[in-house]
Amino acid sequence: MGVGVSWLDLGLMVAMYFIGCHGITIGFHRYFTHGSFKAKRPLRIALAVMGSLAVEGPLVRWVADHRKHHKFSDAEGDPHSPWRFGETVPALMKGLWWAHIGWMFDEERTPQHKYAPDLIKDPALRAISRQFVLWTVVSLAIPPLVGGLVTWSWWGRSRRSSGVRWCGWRCCTVTWSINSICHAVGKRPFKSRDRSGNVWWLAVLSCGESWHNLHHADPTSARHGVLRGQVDSSARLIRWFEKAGWAYDVRWPAKSRIEARRQNVSADAA
Ligand SMILES: [Zn+2]
Ligand SMILES: [Zn+2]
C-alpha cells in the first residue's frame, strides 16, 4: 500500500475540482462578472469563497480582468487573447501559452477601481479577495485533512499529499483553457465580434463554460450551453439555486434571443 491512488484520493480530487470549478463559473464569472442572476447574501458569500478555492487569483482581480477581456475581446487591450502575437502557427503557439497562464504574470494590471467598483464597495467581498493566500492554503489543506479524518491516521494524511498537488493544479489546466483553447478553435454558431468558439469536448470538465461562443454573443445569459444536447452543469446548479430561493432574477435565455444571435448557416463552420 502507499503507492498509487485510492478511491478516496480520487473522490476528494473530483469533489474539490468541481467545487472550485463551479465557484469560478457560477460565482466569479456568471454572477460577479456578468450579473446573470441575483443572489441572496449567504449564496453571494459562499460563491466568493468557493471561487477563491480554485486558486485562480483574487476575486476582484479576476472580475476586473474578465470584464476587460469582454470589452476588448481578441483586440488590443484584451488581457489574454491567444492571437496577441499574430496568426502564424508559431505565434499562435506562443499566444496559447500566453492566454492560458502567461498573462497572469504580466506587469500590466487591469485597474480594479475602473472595472470592478461594485465589488470593491462590498466590504465582505473585499476581505475575501484580499485573503486570497488564505483560501489557497485552505484549498490545499482540505484534501489531506478530510483524507486524514476518514482513514484516521497520519499515514492517511501524508499519503493524501499526492492528491493535494493534483488538486492544486486542477483549474490551471481546464478552467483557464477557456481563455486559450476557446478563443482559438471551436464552432461559431453565434454572432460575436471576436474569435470565441464552442468547444464540446471541454463542456463537462469546464462546468459548461466551453460554450464560449454563445457566451460572447450573449454575455449576461445564465446558460451558456443553449443548444440541444449542450451540457452545462453551471446552469443546472443555478436553476437549483433558483428553485431553493437563493437565486432570483435569473437571466435565462429566451428562444427569440438565441435565434437573433445565430450566424447565417454558411458561417457555421469551425
Ligand atoms: Zn472569452
Ligand atoms: Zn465572460
Could you read off the pLDDT of 11-61 as tens digits, one per residue?
888 888 899 999 999 999 999 999 999 999 999 999 999 999 988 889 999
pLDDT of residue 42: 98
Lowest mean pLDDT among 87-96, 138-147, 191-200, 232-241: 138-147
CA of 73 to the centre of ligand 1 (A): 7
Residue 140: predicted pLDDT: 82
Give the Å distance between the CA of 84 and the centre of ligand 2: 19
Tell how far the Cα of 151 is from the centroid of ligand 2, in angstroms. Answer: 41
118 — pLDDT class (breaks 50, 70, 90): very high
Sort 131 into a burial class: Cβ within 10 Å, 0-12 / 13-18 / 19+. Answer: middle
> Residue 80: nearest ligand to its CA?
1
pLDDT for 168 equals 52
Q: What does pLDDT average to over the chain?
A: 87
Higher pLDDT, 151 or 187: 187
Only one residue has cell 469551425, namely: 270
Residue 1 has pLDDT above 60, yes or no: no
Give the rounded percent of residues in the chain with a pLDDT score beyond 70: 87
User: How far away, in angstroms, is 214 Cα from ligand 2 center?
Assistant: 10
Distance 179 CA to ligand 2 centre (A): 10
Residue 55 to residues 7, 132, 181, 182, Cα–Cα distance (Å): 24, 8, 20, 20
Q: For residue 182, give the ligand nearest its CA.
A: 1
Per-residue pLDDT band at 169 (split at 50, 70, 90)? low
pLDDT in tens, 244-260: 999 999 999 999 999 99
State residue 52's pLDDT score: 94
Q: How far does the centroid of ligand 2 lie from the alpha carbon of residue 145, in Å?
A: 34
Cα(178) to centroid of ligand 1, in Å? 7
Least confident interval from 28-32, 48-52, 155-159, 180-184: 155-159
Tell how far the Cα of 44 is from the centroid of ligand 1, in angstroms: 23
**For residue 93, how far is its CA from the centre of ligand 2 (angstroms)?**
23
Q: Which of the ligands is closest to the CA of residue 224? A: 2
pTM (two decimals)? 0.89
pLDDT category, 159, cuts 50, 70, 90?
Answer: low
